[in-house]
Amino acid sequence: MTQTQATPAQSTRVAIVTGASRGIGASVAQRLAQDGFAVAINYASSAAEANALVDELKAQGLSAIAVKADVAKPDEVRALFETTEAQLGRVDVLVNNAGVLKTTPLADTSDALYDQTFDINVRGTFNTLREAAKRLNDGGRIVNFSSSALAMNLPGYAIYNATKAAVESFTHVFAKELRGRQITVNAVAPGPVATELFTNGKTAEQIANFAKMPPLERLGQPEDIAGVVSFLVGPDAGWVNGQILRANGGLA
Protein backbone atom coordinates (compact mmCIF):
# COMPACT_ATOMS: atom_id res chain seq x y z
CA MET A 1 0.00 0.00 0.00
CA THR A 2 1.62 3.29 -1.06
CA GLN A 3 0.22 6.69 -0.24
CA THR A 4 1.05 10.29 -0.80
CA GLN A 5 0.07 12.66 2.01
CA ALA A 6 -2.54 15.36 1.46
CA THR A 7 -4.25 17.75 3.86
CA PRO A 8 -7.76 18.69 2.67
CA ALA A 9 -10.02 20.92 4.75
CA GLN A 10 -12.55 19.08 6.96
CA SER A 11 -15.44 20.18 4.73
CA THR A 12 -13.82 19.05 1.45
CA ARG A 13 -15.79 16.25 -0.17
CA VAL A 14 -13.75 13.15 -0.90
CA ALA A 15 -13.94 10.84 -3.93
CA ILE A 16 -12.40 7.43 -4.52
CA VAL A 17 -11.80 6.70 -8.21
CA THR A 18 -10.79 3.10 -8.90
CA GLY A 19 -8.40 2.38 -11.78
CA ALA A 20 -7.37 6.02 -11.99
CA SER A 21 -3.73 5.64 -13.00
CA ARG A 22 -4.58 6.15 -16.69
CA GLY A 23 -7.35 6.27 -19.27
CA ILE A 24 -10.84 7.35 -18.27
CA GLY A 25 -10.16 6.95 -14.53
CA ALA A 26 -7.22 9.38 -14.62
CA SER A 27 -9.37 11.92 -16.46
CA VAL A 28 -12.21 11.46 -13.95
CA ALA A 29 -9.79 11.94 -11.03
CA GLN A 30 -8.45 15.10 -12.64
CA ARG A 31 -11.94 16.49 -13.30
CA LEU A 32 -13.23 15.72 -9.78
CA ALA A 33 -10.13 17.33 -8.25
CA GLN A 34 -10.82 20.42 -10.39
CA ASP A 35 -14.45 20.29 -9.20
CA GLY A 36 -13.13 20.63 -5.62
CA PHE A 37 -12.99 17.02 -4.42
CA ALA A 38 -10.03 15.55 -2.60
CA VAL A 39 -9.38 12.45 -4.68
CA ALA A 40 -8.04 8.99 -3.87
CA ILE A 41 -6.43 7.72 -7.06
CA ASN A 42 -6.59 3.93 -6.92
CA TYR A 43 -4.42 1.68 -9.07
CA ALA A 44 -3.41 -1.99 -9.09
CA SER A 45 0.06 -1.96 -10.63
CA SER A 46 0.77 1.38 -12.34
CA ALA A 47 2.31 3.14 -9.34
CA ALA A 48 4.48 5.52 -11.37
CA GLU A 49 1.50 6.82 -13.39
CA ALA A 50 -0.71 7.17 -10.30
CA ASN A 51 1.98 9.03 -8.36
CA ALA A 52 2.72 11.28 -11.36
CA LEU A 53 -0.98 12.22 -11.52
CA VAL A 54 -0.98 13.02 -7.79
CA ASP A 55 2.08 15.26 -8.29
CA GLU A 56 0.42 16.98 -11.25
CA LEU A 57 -2.77 17.68 -9.28
CA LYS A 58 -0.85 18.89 -6.24
CA ALA A 59 1.16 21.25 -8.46
CA GLN A 60 -2.21 22.80 -9.42
CA GLY A 61 -3.03 23.25 -5.70
CA LEU A 62 -5.48 20.32 -5.75
CA SER A 63 -5.79 17.52 -3.20
CA ALA A 64 -5.01 13.89 -4.10
CA ILE A 65 -3.44 10.70 -2.83
CA ALA A 66 -2.49 7.50 -4.67
CA VAL A 67 -3.62 4.21 -3.13
CA LYS A 68 -2.61 0.78 -4.40
CA ALA A 69 -5.36 -1.84 -4.18
CA ASP A 70 -6.51 -4.65 -6.44
CA VAL A 71 -10.28 -4.15 -6.52
CA ALA A 72 -10.75 -7.89 -6.98
CA LYS A 73 -9.44 -8.46 -3.43
CA PRO A 74 -11.85 -7.59 -0.60
CA ASP A 75 -9.10 -7.00 1.99
CA GLU A 76 -7.33 -4.56 -0.35
CA VAL A 77 -10.60 -2.73 -1.03
CA ARG A 78 -11.20 -2.44 2.72
CA ALA A 79 -7.69 -1.00 3.05
CA LEU A 80 -8.39 1.42 0.16
CA PHE A 81 -11.34 2.89 2.08
CA GLU A 82 -9.42 2.86 5.39
CA THR A 83 -6.44 4.66 3.85
CA THR A 84 -8.71 7.22 2.19
CA GLU A 85 -10.51 7.90 5.48
CA ALA A 86 -7.21 8.14 7.36
CA GLN A 87 -5.56 10.46 4.80
CA LEU A 88 -8.49 12.50 3.49
CA GLY A 89 -10.90 12.25 6.43
CA ARG A 90 -14.08 10.83 4.83
CA VAL A 91 -15.57 9.22 1.71
CA ASP A 92 -18.47 10.88 -0.15
CA VAL A 93 -18.12 9.57 -3.70
CA LEU A 94 -17.15 6.23 -5.19
CA VAL A 95 -16.40 5.94 -8.92
CA ASN A 96 -16.09 2.28 -9.91
CA ASN A 97 -14.03 2.79 -13.05
CA ALA A 98 -11.45 -0.05 -12.84
CA GLY A 99 -12.08 -2.61 -15.53
CA VAL A 100 -10.49 -4.87 -18.14
CA LEU A 101 -11.45 -5.89 -21.68
CA LYS A 102 -9.99 -8.65 -23.79
CA THR A 103 -12.18 -9.63 -26.72
CA THR A 104 -12.19 -13.26 -27.79
CA PRO A 105 -14.87 -15.63 -29.07
CA LEU A 106 -16.66 -17.33 -26.20
CA ALA A 107 -15.59 -20.77 -27.47
CA ASP A 108 -11.92 -19.75 -27.28
CA THR A 109 -12.09 -18.05 -23.86
CA SER A 110 -9.78 -19.60 -21.29
CA ASP A 111 -10.84 -20.17 -17.69
CA ALA A 112 -8.12 -17.70 -16.66
CA LEU A 113 -9.48 -14.91 -18.89
CA TYR A 114 -13.05 -15.58 -17.75
CA ASP A 115 -11.95 -15.45 -14.10
CA GLN A 116 -9.84 -12.31 -14.54
CA THR A 117 -12.61 -10.41 -16.34
CA PHE A 118 -15.28 -11.35 -13.80
CA ASP A 119 -12.89 -10.85 -10.84
CA ILE A 120 -12.03 -7.27 -11.80
CA ASN A 121 -15.21 -6.03 -13.50
CA VAL A 122 -17.84 -7.77 -11.34
CA ARG A 123 -16.22 -8.85 -8.06
CA GLY A 124 -14.26 -5.59 -8.02
CA THR A 125 -17.46 -3.56 -8.30
CA PHE A 126 -19.16 -5.81 -5.72
CA ASN A 127 -16.24 -5.38 -3.29
CA THR A 128 -16.28 -1.58 -3.47
CA LEU A 129 -20.09 -1.30 -3.33
CA ARG A 130 -20.22 -3.52 -0.23
CA GLU A 131 -17.56 -1.41 1.45
CA ALA A 132 -19.26 1.82 0.34
CA ALA A 133 -22.52 0.69 1.96
CA LYS A 134 -20.71 0.70 5.31
CA ARG A 135 -18.57 3.78 4.84
CA LEU A 136 -20.05 6.30 2.40
CA ASN A 137 -21.45 9.43 4.00
CA ASP A 138 -25.18 9.98 3.71
CA GLY A 139 -25.77 12.20 0.68
CA GLY A 140 -22.96 10.48 -1.20
CA ARG A 141 -22.77 9.43 -4.83
CA ILE A 142 -21.76 6.20 -6.57
CA VAL A 143 -20.98 5.90 -10.28
CA ASN A 144 -20.40 2.45 -11.75
CA PHE A 145 -18.95 1.70 -15.19
CA SER A 146 -20.89 -0.29 -17.76
CA SER A 147 -20.28 -0.10 -21.52
CA SER A 148 -22.30 0.73 -24.63
CA ALA A 149 -20.77 -2.47 -26.04
CA LEU A 150 -23.55 -4.23 -24.14
CA ALA A 151 -26.17 -2.93 -26.59
CA MET A 152 -24.12 -3.86 -29.68
CA ASN A 153 -23.74 -7.62 -29.07
CA LEU A 154 -20.56 -7.76 -31.17
CA PRO A 155 -18.80 -11.13 -31.57
CA GLY A 156 -15.92 -11.44 -29.09
CA TYR A 157 -17.64 -9.42 -26.38
CA ALA A 158 -19.65 -12.18 -24.63
CA ILE A 159 -17.62 -12.34 -21.41
CA TYR A 160 -17.01 -8.58 -21.14
CA ASN A 161 -20.65 -7.78 -21.88
CA ALA A 162 -21.78 -10.32 -19.28
CA THR A 163 -19.66 -8.52 -16.67
CA LYS A 164 -21.16 -5.15 -17.61
CA ALA A 165 -24.70 -6.59 -17.52
CA ALA A 166 -23.92 -7.63 -13.94
CA VAL A 167 -22.70 -4.11 -13.15
CA GLU A 168 -25.94 -2.64 -14.54
CA SER A 169 -27.95 -5.02 -12.33
CA PHE A 170 -25.91 -4.01 -9.28
CA THR A 171 -26.64 -0.36 -10.14
CA HIS A 172 -30.42 -0.74 -10.33
CA VAL A 173 -30.75 -2.88 -7.18
CA PHE A 174 -28.18 -1.08 -5.02
CA ALA A 175 -29.84 2.28 -5.71
CA LYS A 176 -32.96 0.84 -4.03
CA GLU A 177 -31.08 -0.87 -1.20
CA LEU A 178 -29.59 2.48 -0.13
CA ARG A 179 -33.09 3.92 0.45
CA GLY A 180 -33.05 6.53 3.21
CA ARG A 181 -29.35 7.37 2.91
CA GLN A 182 -29.71 10.06 0.21
CA ILE A 183 -27.02 8.24 -1.79
CA THR A 184 -27.51 7.96 -5.56
CA VAL A 185 -26.20 4.99 -7.55
CA ASN A 186 -25.88 5.40 -11.30
CA ALA A 187 -23.72 3.99 -14.08
CA VAL A 188 -22.13 5.52 -17.12
CA ALA A 189 -21.92 3.31 -20.23
CA PRO A 190 -19.32 4.80 -22.59
CA GLY A 191 -19.06 3.97 -26.26
CA PRO A 192 -15.56 3.51 -27.70
CA VAL A 193 -13.11 5.84 -25.91
CA ALA A 194 -9.53 6.37 -27.06
CA THR A 195 -7.68 4.55 -24.25
CA GLU A 196 -5.35 1.54 -24.05
CA LEU A 197 -8.29 -0.69 -23.12
CA PHE A 198 -10.01 0.10 -26.41
CA THR A 199 -7.05 0.36 -28.80
CA ASN A 200 -5.05 -2.67 -27.57
CA GLY A 201 -5.27 -5.53 -30.06
CA LYS A 202 -7.15 -3.53 -32.72
CA THR A 203 -5.82 -2.56 -36.15
CA ALA A 204 -5.84 1.09 -37.27
CA GLU A 205 -8.64 0.14 -39.69
CA GLN A 206 -10.77 -1.41 -36.92
CA ILE A 207 -10.26 1.69 -34.77
CA ALA A 208 -11.25 3.96 -37.69
CA ASN A 209 -14.39 1.85 -38.26
CA PHE A 210 -15.41 2.22 -34.60
CA ALA A 211 -14.76 5.96 -34.82
CA LYS A 212 -17.18 6.23 -37.77
CA MET A 213 -20.02 4.37 -36.01
CA PRO A 214 -21.57 7.16 -33.87
CA PRO A 215 -23.41 9.94 -35.72
CA LEU A 216 -20.94 12.32 -34.09
CA GLU A 217 -18.25 10.46 -36.11
CA ARG A 218 -15.38 10.27 -33.66
CA LEU A 219 -14.10 8.20 -30.75
CA GLY A 220 -14.93 9.41 -27.27
CA GLN A 221 -12.13 11.02 -25.31
CA PRO A 222 -11.61 10.33 -21.58
CA GLU A 223 -12.66 13.95 -20.88
CA ASP A 224 -16.07 13.28 -22.49
CA ILE A 225 -16.71 10.61 -19.88
CA ALA A 226 -15.15 12.60 -17.02
CA GLY A 227 -17.69 15.35 -17.74
CA VAL A 228 -20.55 12.87 -17.39
CA VAL A 229 -19.17 11.54 -14.09
CA SER A 230 -18.73 15.13 -12.88
CA PHE A 231 -22.42 15.74 -13.61
CA LEU A 232 -23.54 12.52 -11.87
CA VAL A 233 -21.60 13.29 -8.67
CA GLY A 234 -22.42 17.01 -8.77
CA PRO A 235 -25.35 19.04 -7.43
CA ASP A 236 -27.37 19.03 -10.68
CA ALA A 237 -27.79 15.22 -10.70
CA GLY A 238 -29.35 14.94 -7.24
CA TRP A 239 -32.61 13.56 -8.67
CA VAL A 240 -30.92 11.06 -11.04
CA ASN A 241 -30.81 7.66 -9.36
CA GLY A 242 -30.60 4.03 -10.51
CA GLN A 243 -29.93 5.08 -14.12
CA ILE A 244 -27.53 3.98 -16.83
CA LEU A 245 -26.27 6.99 -18.79
CA ARG A 246 -25.08 5.91 -22.24
CA ALA A 247 -22.38 8.39 -23.30
CA ASN A 248 -21.42 7.31 -26.79
CA GLY A 249 -22.03 10.04 -29.37
CA GLY A 250 -25.33 8.43 -30.35
CA LEU A 251 -23.82 5.01 -31.17
CA ALA A 252 -26.50 2.83 -29.54
Catalytic residues: 160
Inter-residue contact 169 to 115 (CB < 8 Å): no
CB of 249 to ligand NAP, least distance (A): 12
CB of 166 to ligand NAP, least distance (A): 12
Q: Which is nearer to ligand NAP, 14 or 194 (CB)?
A: 194
Ranges within 14-53 binding ligand NAP (CB under 6 A): 18-25, 42-46
Identify the bridge partners of residue 129 per DSSP, sorted by sequence position: none
**Burial of 74 per CB tally in 10 Å (0-12, 13-18, 19+):** middle
Inter-residue contact 148 to 189 (CB < 8 Å): yes
Inter-residue contact 188 to 229 (CB < 8 Å): yes
Inter-residue contact 108 to 156 (CB < 8 Å): no
Ranges within 95-134 binding ligand NAP (CB under 6 A): 97-101, 120, 124
CB of 95 to ligand NAP, least distance (A): 10
- Is residue 249 within the footprint of ligand NAP (CB under 6 A)? no
Cα distance between residue 124 and residue 49, in whole Å: 21
| Interface with ligand NAP (CB under 6 A), residue from 190, 226, 229, 237 | 190
Q: Which is nearer to ligand NAP, 12 or 79 (CB)?
A: 79
Cα distance between residue 63 and residue 59, in whole Å: 9
Cα distance between residue 239 and residue 236, in whole Å: 8
- Is residue 71 within the footprint of ligand NAP (CB under 6 A)? yes
- Is residue 195 within the footprint of ligand NAP (CB under 6 A)? yes
Residues found near ligand NAP in the complex (CB under 6 A): 18-25, 42-46, 70-72, 97-101, 120, 124, 145, 147, 190, 192-193, 195-198
